[in-house]
Amino acid sequence: MLYRPVLSESARPAIETTAAVVAERMPEITPEFYRRMFAAHPELLDGLFSHADQASGRQSAALSGSVVTFAVALLEGQHPLDLVRRIANRHAALGVTPEMYAIVHEHLFAAIAADLGDAVTEDVAAAWSEVYWLFADLLVAAERELYGAQANDRFWTPWRIAAAGTPTTTVRHMTFEPADDTPVTPAVAGQYVSVRVRTADGLRQVRQYSLLAPGTERRIGIKRDDLGAVSPMLHALPVGAEIELSNPYGDLTLDDGDQPLVLATAGIGCTPAVGFLEALAAQHSDRRVMVLHADRTRTDWAFSTAVEALVRRLPGASLHTWFEDDGSRPRMTLAEVGIPLDADLVLCGPLGFMQAVRDQALALGVPDAQIRYEVFGPDAWLKRA
């Protein structure tokens, strides 16, 4: 059980007066932080931080967003458990260790001091350091729980490609089998695994992919990014090749409730929905389930056959689709299908899609607490009021 963090009364005034300034400057501070950290610890570039996210600035946006969001939550007396759990799962899927938080603290605060100069008084530095360690301690505790729940104590284990196929021109699905006798942790529907490969520059890179089924099976779908460093390699690997996978992680999982469930996905974001539907079908569930999917065209919908078959197996399920090349229904519109206002609404897809669907749901009266989402890559989504 994660404790409830409380900001000290001595730190509160400094955070209240500087939160907006720090938030504004974080996009400039964090690139300098990463420059300093990687200069001192180049080993962190091997198998931990995404080179693509560093180059695009997405990692910087995620760091600034999470730290400031946590600080503001403390000011408002909130307990941002969803933020902590989501980041802790992502960290665990990368093999983050407690020692890394001290490294981040050293170089992040050096970058803040360099950027803000005299504005960083002793009181300001102490207040933000308190925020950081409250956040870090929660993450370390959550990650310890996640590691302890696994069937093994290894961050990475070898798996062999047992089968592969291409449901569309840009998506490849892969099924893996264990390549050694390491105990396998059963996955929960909605979880993901990290895949680690060595790229052309000699460094290892990691990407996360949703599992297409719960249990000990490992099946994933990979959309090819022709400009990416990892997905083209995964598309080219032959059956029989070995690859490293993490244990399963992710907090966007199928709950045990009986309230209506709405799965709203777009593009390759349909993969978690497949895992949810597989689990429900295995349970012979009669739960009311609405599957909503948007894509460029019907032929771009990577797992249409699987989704349609699973929906037919579920007596309480219905399927609704939108395609950009269909002039009558080019964009997902929740009002068209009448989603239940007491539903558990799960979103997965491009960031703009999820924000737009969330806005629609809130406008219809779905409580924000019932809207859950998954972001692959740095979680830079700060929810809009």
* Catalytic sites, residue numbers: 101, 143
Give the tokens for residue 11: 């730190």
Give the tokens for residue 167: 């449901």
For residue 85, which phi and psi values (nearest 5 degrees)? Answer: -65, -40
Q: Which of 327, 326, 317 lies closest to 290, judged by CA?
A: 317
- Tell me the C-alpha distance between 85 and 87, whole Å: 6
User: What 3-state class would DSSP assign to 2?
Assistant: coil
Write the CB contacts of 326 (distance below 8 Å, at least 6 apart in sequence): none
- Tell me the C-alpha distance between 357 and 345, whole Å: 10
| Residue 329: Cβ-neighbour burial (10 angstroms; 0-12, 13-18, 19+) | middle
Phi-psi region of 57 (alpha: psi -120 to 50; beta: other; left: phi over 0): left
Strand order in the sheet with 344-348: 317-323, 289-295, 261-266, 344-348, 371-374
Cα radius of gyration (the chain): 21
Measure CA of the first residue to CA of the last residue in the chain; give whole Å.
29
